[in-house]
Amino acid sequence: MEDDFAQWYTDVVKKADLVDYSSVRGSMIIRPYGYAIWENIQSVLDRRIKETGHENVYMPLLIPQSLLQKEKDHIEGFAPEVALVTHGGSEELAEPLVVRPTSEVLFGEHYANIIHSYRDLPKLYNQWANVVRWEKTTRPFLRSLEFLWQEGHTCHATEEEAAEETRKMLEVYAEVVENYLAVPVLKGQKTEKEKFAGAKFTLTIESLMHDGKALQSGTSHHLGTGFAEAFGIQFTDKDGKLQTVNQTSWGITTRLIGALIMVHGDNRGLVVPPRIAPKQVMIVPIAQHKEGVLDKAYELKDQLSKVARVDIDASDKMPGWKFNEYEMKGIPVRLEIGPKDIEKGQVVLARRDTSEKIIVPINELETKIPALLEEIQNNLFEKAKKHREEKTSIAYNMDEFKTNLVENPGFIKAMWCGSEACENFIKEETAATSRCMPFEQEHLADKCVCCGEEAKHLVYWAKAY
Amino acid sequence: MEDDFAQWYTDVVKKADLVDYSSVRGSMIIRPYGYAIWENIQSVLDRRIKETGHENVYMPLLIPQSLLQKEKDHIEGFAPEVALVTHGGSEELAEPLVVRPTSEVLFGEHYANIIHSYRDLPKLYNQWANVVRWEKTTRPFLRSLEFLWQEGHTCHATEEEAAEETRKMLEVYAEVVENYLAVPVLKGQKTEKEKFAGAKFTLTIESLMHDGKALQSGTSHHLGTGFAEAFGIQFTDKDGKLQTVNQTSWGITTRLIGALIMVHGDNRGLVVPPRIAPKQVMIVPIAQHKEGVLDKAYELKDQLSKVARVDIDASDKMPGWKFNEYEMKGIPVRLEIGPKDIEKGQVVLARRDTSEKIIVPINELETKIPALLEEIQNNLFEKAKKHREEKTSIAYNMDEFKTNLVENPGFIKAMWCGSEACENFIKEETAATSRCMPFEQEHLADKCVCCGEEAKHLVYWAKAY
Ligand SMILES: [Zn+2]
Ligand SMILES: [Zn+2]
């Protein structure tokens, strides 16, 4: 993976049975193992979305082109990458339909229909859906023609309430990504240049991959009243006055699976954090033809299924093949049990994260396994955090900036004057972009790393996926 | 609803907040209440799909036109109703992409990639997805340009194993629809004319709506080797011989919500069976401005949330408005509590299905409410079953057939010779179609109801959605 990270990634997603390709350019088949990881992410996040008062809805896939054009900035952002349906039922359509790249405009139209009074607010909707963006170069999970996501869309009586919602949902994302995917995130605000087309401001969680590139892992947008004005989403306030709502939108995608792969993976393949792993423990019987081995292995499977997601491979393949296979798939713990283990009343547990092997008495497994899974979860997070810290450097001028990017690619912390010209210059010179202005601002210097003018913000920069 | 059932339906789906319309012709917005019903159906069915050994996957939305054309019968069945993407990213595509109307061909291509040996079989995949079919006339849930569904696609070593799977999944559908949606179903096989394009045979569950029209509520297809031959899905059997797999596919859709509405609804609106109801009990405080009423109402909500899905409407709207609203939404039980009830240590429970009001001591609620919900569930099923029986008649000749359809519209049981000519004749003369040859065959007569030739099967006929 050190030589050619891109190739390593492509190999792992295929060999770990996460995806397969089809004759559809740039789209992926998400295979059972990949989809089970997505279902686990969905389940954790959906619970939080509901607990914070949101309701799920479902909007149409196809959007009339004219509707997409209602908000100027929005269409400018998405027009170059839409797929157009021009024929339906063998006939040419009077107006082409856009396959949704995102659903702001449909929510806008719907909200205008159903919101009338301050009593109707806030409206807190979310949808789980597929979206299509016509990307030229694609990679499974990271950038594909079609991907799966959730998109939250909310309406509020005031700008401040919408700002509160924008922050709240970013915190929900941060919590899920850190505590379940074991991926540390940097929370901050996007610059004007990098914010969502049509938004007032965009908050983001950014994570750092093994190769030192950043991945935007979730965004939350304060839309202000822009869409609401374009769509006429108005309400009568308590004083009988007509007001325009403030809106937010926020989303995470199947991209998170890409983050998980690129943060935790190693030369033996995938490493899946236990809390999100479809299978947490894989039992591999040793010398399974010997009397009693398979019986005991199945007995352990039943017993341990009470405390973890356990599977067994009792196929006639060699143990060595099985070891490789489940290491490639990143299953957190392998449990080996053979005739000698049974004699001694013990098993061997092999940790995927550290390769460590531990001998554990069978009667301690029910407490030892959940504890070990938690330990692995924490270790993966701490390891990723340490990696990020090692790959985060400071630059006071452009020479340092460029040197750091070459010698220790990762996040570069540098002060910025606030001008788009400097962002553009840095991007052209180094291919790094501003990832965010972190919530935790530091005053590293008085001057912009690029132009030397007065610095306004600390910015994290990086090359990014 | 007796005067104009179609209008009643359109009103109910809108007034009960199940759907809203958008500027996308023929597509619907599924609102939170409608989507919550769908999530409950999904959750029940997904558990069974997994328990029967299936795994969820996700296939691309867009299918190259040439791939869809690989299986002749299939493309003939779907070509007239596909939506075509001809432009992507501002450029015209070399080959148009079809928005999936169903995913047989993508599964076919994928299976050909991943199946090689008898050890790879069976492959039991399912996906939850949206599909698009270019319907001319549309109605929410029943027939729309886009709908949500699950589609199972499986590969087996033998024809018999595939037949077994086809039957098993139909039984899963029947169980879910009867036990959760409280909709009685008729299980049987489609005629050649009505079977799925490209299938060997199609099994179906058919249910009868309040107006005497039938609704196909779920289908399970034995695909034989047709698709497998077109896509080259072959495996080496235990003797080293190359064989072609046998396949099945099976699906249910958001249509089931239409069935639920049209089977249980009445002139006051929707009636949702408790097991599938997003909210089972709605608490309506009476004279809520009086001291202690709201406190007690919230206390009950907390307490009863342990045994049922309970909500409260403590808004300042009048109780009469609330009664109407939650009757329209079909919430199974309304709990009224006012100052006098509190004094007496009781509440009033109002059943949505029978309108009956029952006075229940507060300390009995935790046992009484689950029992009442079960009673309502059973009552809805029995009522629907009785309705279906009353609306099922026998015809021995075409005069009886036509008279029955006018005087008691519903299922008509009649013998059939097996010829498509008779099916076509009956459809032209009466607008009724063959719904299925039920698994429980009866020998009502020796002769076909239409042509008088030797009868081969008992068929249920009906006008259908
Ligand atoms: Zn500057
Ligand atoms: Zn006949």
* Structure ipTM: 0.96
Do A285 and A260 belong together in one domain? no
Q: Domain for residue A376, yes or no?
A: no
Do B62 and A83 count as a contact with CB atoms less than 8 A apart?
A: yes
Ligand 2 center from residue A191 Cα (angstroms): 74
Asked whether residue B95 is domain-assigned, the answer is yes
pLDDT in tens, A216-239: 999 999 999 999 999 999 999 999
Whether residue A83 and residue B88 make contact (CB cut-off 8 A), yes or no, is yes
Half-sphere exposure of B151 (CA within 13 A, CB side): 19
Q: Does B96 touch chain A (CB under 8 A)?
A: yes
Q: Which of A49, A58, A151 to mutate to test the interface with B (most CBs of B within 10 A)?
A: A58
Residues 6+ apart with CB under 8 A from A220: A166, A167, A169, A170, A173, A202, A203, A204, A248, A249, A250
* Whether residue B140 sits in one domain with residue B110: yes
Contact with chain B for residue A85, Cβ under 8 A:
yes
> A244: CA distance to ligand 2 center in Å?
66
- Please report which confidence band the pLDDT of residue B77 belongs to, taking 50, 70 and 90 as the band edges: confident
pLDDT band of residue B167 (cuts 50, 70, 90) is: very high
> Quick one: what percent of chain B has pLDDT higher than 90?
94
A84, A146, A315 member nearest B87 (Cβ): A84
CA–centroid distance, B418 to ligand 2, in Å, is 6
Confidence of residue B90 (pLDDT cuts 50, 70, 90): confident
- The b-or-e profile of B388-418 (16+ CB within 10 A means b, else e) is beebbbbbeebeebbebbeeebbbbbbbbbb
Q: B55 to chain A: nearest residue by CA?
A: A32
The residue of chain B with its CA nearest to that of A96 is: B85
Count Cβ neighbours within 10 Å for each residue of B59-85 and write b for 16 or more, e otherwise.
bbbbbbbebbebbeebbebbbebbbbb
Residue ranges, chain A, pLDDT below 70: none
Compute the distance between CA of residue A331 and CA of residue A338 in angstroms, rounded to an integer: 20
Q: Does residue B150 form part of some domain? A: yes
Ligand nearest to the CA of B421: 2
Residue to test with chain A: of B15, B24, B82, B115, most A Cβ within 10 A? B24
pTM higher than 0.80: yes
Q: Look at residue A177 and tell me if it is in a domain.
A: yes
A103 → chain B, closest CA residue:
B29
pLDDT band at B80; cut points 50, 70, 90? confident
- Which of these three, B213, B230, B264, is where a domain ends? B264
Q: What is the rounded distance in angstroms from the CA atom of residue A83 to the CA atom of residue B51?
A: 38
- Residues of B with Cβ-Cβ distance to A100 under 8 angstroms: none
Q: CA B82, CA A87: separation in Å to the nearest integer?
A: 8
| Ligand located closest to B414 CA | 2
| CATH code of residue A295 | 3.40.50.800
Mark yes or no for CB contact A36/B27 under 8 Å: no
- B336 φ, ψ (degrees, to nearest 5): -100, 135
Residue list, CB under 5 A from ion ligand 1: A 417, 422, 448, 450-451
- Specify whether B155 is located in the same domain as B300: no
Mark whether A78 and A227 lie in a shared domain: yes
Scan for tokens 């989507």, then name that residue: B35
Q: Do B57 and A136 touch (CB under 8 A)?
A: no
Chain A from 376 to 415: CB within 8 A of any B CB: none
Using the predicted structure, report yes or no on whether residue B72 has a pLDDT greater than 90: no
Tokens (6 digits) for A58: 């479902």
Q: Which of A57, A90, A145 is opposite residue B32, by nearest beta carbon?
A: A57
Rounded to a whole number of angstroms, the distance between the first and last alpha carbons of chain A is 17
What residues make up the domain containing B328? 281-368
Of A260, A262, A285, nearest in space to A273 by CA: A260
Contacts of A89 in chain B (CB under 8 A): 80-83, 134-136
Decide if B57 and A31 are in contact by the 8 Å CB cutoff: yes
Considering the domain architecture, whether residues B158 and B288 belong to the same structural domain is answered as: no
Burial degree of A449 (CB within 10 A; 0-12, 13-18, 19+): buried
B257 in A contact zone (CB under 8 Å) = no
Question: Of A80, A81, A110, which has the smallest distance from its Cβ to B22's Cβ?
Answer: A110
Find all residues with CB under 8 Å of A355, minimum gap 6, and list them: none
| Minimal C-alpha gap between B208 and chain A (Å) | 27
Residue of B58, B79, B145 with shortest CB distance to A148: B58
Residues in chain A with CB shorter than 8 Å from the CB of B31 are: 57
- Tokens at B341, concatenated: 């009830």
* Alpha-carbon span B435 to B189, nearest angstrom: 8
**Nearest CB partner across the interface for A90, out of B61, B62, B80:** B80
Q: Which of B454, B455, B420, B451 is nearest to B434 (CA)?
A: B420
Q: Is residue B447 part of a domain?
A: yes
Tokens at residue B447, please?
């002769």
Q: Where residue A406 sits, what CATH number does that domain have?
A: 3.30.110.30
Contact A60 B89 (CB under 8 A): no
Looking at the structure, tell me whether residues A212 and A104 fall in a common domain.
Answer: yes
pLDDT at B70: 86
* Tokens, residue A23: 């004759």
Q: Is the dihedral of CA A267, A269, A275, A276 positive or negative?
A: positive
pLDDT at A198: 86
Could you tell me which chain A residue has the CA closest to the CA of B58? A30
Whether chain A has a CB inside 8 Å of the CB on B29: the answer is yes
Q: What is the 3-state secondary structure (H, E, C) of chain B?
A: CCCCHHHHHHHHHHHCCCEEECCCCCCEEECHHHHHHHHHHHHHHHHHHHHCCCEECECCCEEEHHHHCCCHHHHHHHHHHCEEEEEECCEEEEEEEEECCCCHHHHHHHHHHHCCEHHHCCEEEEEEEEEECCCCCCECCCECCEEEEEEEEEEECCHHHHHHHHHHHHHHHHHHHHHCCCCCCEEEECCCCCCCCCCCEEEEEEEECCCCCEEEEEEEEEEECHHHHHHCCEEECCCCCEEECEEEEEEEECHHHHHHHHHHCECCECCCCHHHCCCCEEEEECCCCCCCHHHHHHHHHHHHCCCCCEEECCCCCCHHHHHHHHHHCCCCEEEEECHHHHHHCEEEEEECCCCCEEEEEHHHHHHHHHHHHHHHHHHHHHHHHHHHHHCEEECCCHHHHHHHHHHCCCEEEEEECCCHHHHHHHHHHHCCEEEEEECCCCCCCCECCCCCCECCEEEEEECEC
Residue of B nearest to A43 (CA): B43
A71 with A230: CB under 8 angstroms?
yes
CA angle (B96, B99, B102) in 5-degree steps: 125
Are A260 and A285 part of one and the same domain? no
Instruction: Using a CB–CB cutoff of 8 Å, tell me whether B31 touches chain A.
Output: yes
Whether A200 and A332 map to the same domain: the answer is no
Domain boundary among B216, B231, B264: B264
- Give which of A205, A265, A250, A273 is closest to A37, Cα–Cα: A273
- Calculate helix-pair angle for A365-390, A293-304, nearest 10 degrees: 70
Report CA(A415)–ligand 1 centroid distance (Å): 8
Pairwise CA distance, residues B162 & B223, whole Å = 8
**Pairwise CB contact (< 8 Å): B27 & A60:** yes
Residues B296 and B184 in one domain: no
Residue B270 lies in a domain: no
Q: What are phi and psi of A286, to 5 degrees?
A: -105, 135
Q: In the prediction, which pLDDT does A76 show?
A: 80
Number of Cα atoms under 13 Å in the Cβ half of residue B394: 8
Nearest to A113 among B20, B109, B148 (CB): B20
Please give the distance of CA A95 from its chain centroid, rounded to a whole number.
35
pLDDT at B25: 86
B27 touches A at CB < 8 Å: yes
Q: Give chain A positions within 8 Å (CB) of B60.
A: 22, 24, 27-29, 145-146
**Residue numbers in B near A55 (CB within 8 A):** 32, 35-36
Residue B274 counted as domain residue: no
For residue B105, how far is the Cα from the chain centroid?
24
Q: Do B146 and A87 touch (CB under 8 A)?
A: no
Domain shared by B247 and B123, yes or no: yes
- Give B243-262 pLDDT, tens digit per residue: 999 999 999 999 999 999 99
Give the list of residues 6+ apart from residue A455 with CB closer than 8 angstroms, or none.
A415, A416, A417, A445, A446, A447, A448, A449
Q: Find the residue in A nearest to B119 (Cα).
A: A315
B424 at A interface, C-beta within 8 A: no
Domain count, chain A: 3
Judge whether B129 is closer than 8 Å to chain A, CB to CB. Answer: yes
**B contact residues 51-70, partner A, Cβ 8 Å cutoff:** 55-64, 67
Q: Please, what is the average pLDDT of chain A?
A: 96
CB-CB neighbors (< 8 A) of A35 in chain B: 55-58
Cβ separation of A56 and B67 shorter than 8 Å?
Answer: no
Domain's final residue, options B201, B236, B264: B264
Would you call B62 and A27 a contact, using CB atoms and an 8 Å cutoff?
yes
Residue contact A29–B110, C-beta within 8 A? yes
Tell me the CA–centroid distance for residue B404 and ligand 2, in Å.
Answer: 19
Same domain, B227 and B354: no
Indicate whether A381 belongs to any domain: no
Residues B40 and B77 in one domain: yes
CATH number of residue A241's parent domain? 3.30.930.10
